[in-house]
Structure 1
């Protein structure tokens, strides 16, 4: 692990590029560091002193050990400064200076990278806002705000996102431990910081703002960290336009958004879709215990908002708890006869503070309720601030007595409830504008508690991996031969070797062979060109299904292939025509690719319009267990078609799950494979399996 103690707990800091001129970055950083409880050494050849401290011409002139260097000099001067830091024995550095890869200056960034590697200086940046440690009054940034102490640590590629969060934080009473603007990530990556925060006693929640990753350890470290602390991530660059903006902003290349979503899920990371959602999740995870099971109670003085909240339960996968009998009896005693004892619990529009207190305390004691949403709308007899104060008292009382359940509120309104919402937030209870947001927040508390117990391996995955390892070891020559001449036929041979069902077929080199093979396979046939230069065979007119005249079909396919080569100016190779038995069933796609950051990725979706138009696909990151594969399928909007709808038969879902698991293992074991595409895969009726209709394997170059 890198020397983060020098960065977050330094005894001495050199500010290289410190300034006396107000408005300069070096001035702001110097000002922010004046409350630091260690030694400060400004460095700038222009001055003899800054802020009453002796100023040095070079870090080499300082007669003391330096733990941390803050570098605020023009980009071209950074290599010389870092060389001097290395000679001085500086352990850590934060390079604030911009003008590197984010503006296309890759050579300069590479020069700095070599220097910090040479001297083993743990370095954050360049092109960053700086870092903070609230527990040491350490603020190396040039921002205006320094937050309260708390349990949230943030790692962000954007300094502006950080300053926005810090500006919002007093409204929600959010407190922070470590804040890191990571910039261009010349050295320190997200995984390095996450590894450090894993054992940081003052960090309980980790927040990430990501534009693009170049960190191959990210996923493995995230898996470990998420088992002990929640990780919340906002990933920008989701669209093509956003990805371009991210690249120009930080020099990072944003990857496929679907793959990031799959990676976050695999790493146990909670993904926020918007900045507002990110802030909401920070608030609830920093203040509330997790939901141990997935059943909540709703208390409301407005039936309509109770119904809206109940509607949202289905959307976010939350269940309404069935109250215990003793709960119902208590509520009947304490609530008016007009109140309906159900969930949502409508305590009627004239509910006063005492009625809220009785309802909330009763549901807090119900063993069937794992979390609570309290809704309030302003009425003449309702005193929002009094209700808020009572909810805070109840939260503290039950926490002290060992009942740890999350409570979130939705005080719906404007001016009349403003003070109550502020009071709740300042006392560690989230309060949302809408009940829907409260349901969403509670759902994340359960989602994370479920993520923590998710296993990466199951017996079946282990069994498949061992089988495939044996196949690989026992068939080295055969596999090597198949890989030297990859086409649909040899790709299917490779799949069949690993127990994946493919149609029976032969390659015909001439018309006579085609007729002979056709007679052997029967009347229902598929004929396709075999050529490494024609990937989309149907588009080239090189696929014929159930031909009336096999010999004529053979000639048509060959002629169409030659015409395709002429039209596209290709000096192509024709290896023959594949004659296969005809297979039918529901068409799906199962494919694998090797991501530069996350490794083997598996994709699945229904064929035809579902992929081409609706883009209804799901991604998974290896290792993929049976449960994980099934979850991937359930993510598809078209999943109900697999289950059987409107008289259509249920399909063999187990066979697809099996195929997804096997493909994941195959991609992991055969590092030379760049992509595998099985499209279509024909899925038969339940219990009858599936069969790969077409296959493409692409190797790394």
Structure 2
């Protein structure tokens, strides 16, 4: 992946002149579709130059043999010619001073021709031509009438920017947008991404006045910059990501717990959490979020008011409220008093507000109005089912009037609707969609979508505190500068003792320990401690328990030493390992709540840190969470709270609260250590024994894997 000197995306999204290389009038050719789609651009005053040596004229425009023959400047070129001609053509574009290009042509790395792609990259870099593609559908800037793609005609202007690595998913979403009344500001087909990456487009869209929500379909990212760009954008606008290829069936399991648990899906999940994006699982979920984010304001509190003419659906919606982190609003007394004036005695004035099966349009209207006045209500879910007295289209029109009135007064709160049923409620549901009220087939989906707007409000108000992180970084780099030779020597033979010594020098608390190389030394060292743990010291025996090389609180130190040496020697022989046993570790026996902290260098995102409760929670439940470095204390706390077993750390059933602050600090420190030492590929600290609150903790075992 090449990093160019300038951003320069204006030439791609807002060109004044476009050249189509491979232009033609032959039906079915990409060059013909590109020319036809540029009609609106020309009508708005843009200059279009067909390039094709075969023709003198294309669609009434003078056709040139090369971009070098065009008399005026060219901002953007659309390239649709056989792949083998692309490098030479881009060389001509560079000499012409072209600023941007969209290479539609396929036939590069996606079919195994990496050399052709690399040659093209060299030329683009040489002339600093910002490029989308190759192997893509193109780019559409809806509000500037630029359709620089070969998609079919599309005219759904709106506030959604869509970035896609798949042309098919791009066209599918565009097609489904018409009946759903979704509109777009910009649409980008990324292709092979030899130049422009997603993070640059996110940066560009941050200040785009036509874009209020950004959605991406991602198959893979090429660098970690996406995280910072997404996080910065999420402070302003919601970012939705649908990632495919999350399964990791073909990946090789690493030797540490961290490596074996940190698959492709886990890496991307951690990256997306840090980027504060909405990491959706399905195409349907992606569309649901587009429906609400493109039409509704964020929910500035988590209190929901539910209006329904069906008690059962009201209960279903209520169940979802707590599931998605929201609360049922408690209506103010004045709200209850006013509602009683319009509701029958059989209607319980509570939340969910059941209007009863015979609810007419007026009953819905008054319910809308009263809940909107209630300061305890931050968002409204409106449910309607087919009933004899209920006019679905009438209720829909009243809801739209209600929304428009709120917007006119600048008092808008998010509203979602569930017109539940088939043909008998279809007209009302369609009316709501046409007037920008997101409508769902069931209340559960409506509540889920509404909860996303509250999460977006929280995203916009996140404050990153990096003071402690900066302090640890300064400390670790100072230690490296002062003791670099000693630390490199320890990493050259990262057995458990050396790994612990390396970590101790870098501020990680370790238990008292000695390495015995004889029975006599083992007995002498053990006599200085009340209770000991004895373990083999060998960089080649990673899982010491499996080798029978760990003994806890042995009473016969001499026998324990001999057993560990014999078992270790047999283990290496059975495994066919060429290894060295450096001795037996005699270590102080410590106790505490066991957790695991590990780190792994990911090829895309860099150091990724894992944590979770140790023991059964790692081996069986796999209750772990991942974070992408750099990790602040706040971020570390968020990681811990994602654990299903977090409450155990807070203290349950008479157990004391553990020193969570110590865990957070250790997570931050491990991330900085991974950052500071390029040769470290994995760190596995398992277990960490965490003491009671305020008493910190100490590591029990450590594994460091280097290049």
TM-score norm. by structure 2 comes to: 0.94
Distance 2:611 2:348 in 1: 46
Deviates more, 1:216-225 or 1:471-480: 471-480
Distance 1:144 1:352 in 2: 44
Distance 1:201 1:243 in 2: 42
- The residue aligned with 2:187 is 179
- The residue aligned with 1:278 is 286
- The residue aligned with 2:352 is 344
Indicate the SS of the match to 1:240: coil
- The residue aligned with 1:247 is none
Deviates more, 1:95-104 or 1:631-640: 631-640
Deviation at 1:498, TM superposition (A): 3.9
- The residue aligned with 2:111 is 103
1:641 to 645, 648, 651: 648
1:374 to 375, 382, 401: 382
1:145–1:166 contact (8 Å) kept in structure 2: no
1:145–1:163 contact (8 Å) kept in structure 2: no
Gaps of 5+ in 2: 1-5, 253-261
- The residue aligned with 2:339 is 331
In the alignment, structure 1 residue 223 sits paired with structure 2 residue 231: yes
1:682–1:690 contact (8 Å) kept in structure 2: yes
Deviation at 1:242, TM superposition (A): 9.9
Distance 1:678 1:378 in 2: 59
Deviation at 1:578, TM superposition (A): 0.6
Deviation at 1:326, TM superposition (A): 1.4
1:46 to 31, 43, 54: 54
- The residue aligned with 1:554 is 561
Deviation at 1:195, TM superposition (A): 1.4
Q: Kindly report which structure 2 residues correspond to 1:511-550, keeping only aligned pairs within 5 A, or say none.
A: 511-522=519-530, 524-550=531-557
In the alignment, structure 1 residue 2 sits paired with structure 2 residue 7: yes
Computed over aligned residues only, the root mean square deviation of the Cα atoms, in angstroms, reads: 2.1
Distance 2:8 2:560 in 1: 69
Q: Kindly report which structure 2 residues correspond to 1:8-407, keeping only aligned pairs within 5 A, or say none.
A: 8-37=13-42, 38-240=46-248, 256-407=264-415
Deviation by residue 1:357-416 (Cα, 9 ceiling, x = unmatched) = 100111111111111110111101111111111111110101111212001111111111
Distance 1:92 1:123 in 2: 6
Deviation at 1:517, TM superposition (A): 0.6
Deviates more, 1:117-126 or 1:540-549: 540-549
- The residue aligned with 2:256 is none
Gaps of 5+ in 1: 245-253
Distance 2:541 2:51 in 1: 64
Deviation at 1:165, TM superposition (A): 0.9
Deviates more, 1:475-484 or 1:122-131: 475-484
Deviation by residue 1:213-239 (Cα, 9 ceiling, x = unmatched) = 002322222222222222111111111
1:236–1:243 contact (8 Å) kept in structure 2: no
Deviates more, 1:449-458 or 1:127-136: 449-458
- The residue aligned with 1:590 is 597
Deviates more, 1:122-131 or 1:615-624: 615-624
Deviation at 1:646, TM superposition (A): 4.7
- The residue aligned with 1:693 is 700
- The residue aligned with 1:612 is 619
1:212–1:255 contact (8 Å) kept in structure 2: no
In the alignment, structure 1 residue 677 sits paired with structure 2 residue 684: yes
Residues paired across the two proteins, number: 690
Deviation by residue 1:548-597 (Cα, 9 ceiling, x = unmatched) = 32112112211222222222222211211111112233322111123233
- The residue aligned with 2:258 is none
Deviation at 1:449, TM superposition (A): 1.0
Distance 1:556 1:156, change over 3 A: same
Deviation at 1:625, TM superposition (A): 3.0
- The residue aligned with 1:249 is none
2:500–2:510 contact (8 Å) kept in structure 1: yes
1:456–1:624 contact (8 Å) kept in structure 2: no
Distance 1:112 1:550, change over 3 A: same
Distance 1:390 1:435 in 2: 19
Distance 1:527 1:186 in 2: 54
2:248–2:263 contact (8 Å) kept in structure 1: no
1:145–1:167 contact (8 Å) kept in structure 2: no
Deviation at 1:671, TM superposition (A): 4.4
In the alignment, structure 1 residue 575 sits paired with structure 2 residue 582: yes
Distance 2:466 2:56 in 1: 66
Deviation at 1:97, TM superposition (A): 0.8
Q: Kindly report which structure 2 residues correspond to 1:429-444, keeping only aligned pairs within 5 A, or say none.
A: 429-444=437-452
Deviation at 1:58, TM superposition (A): 2.1
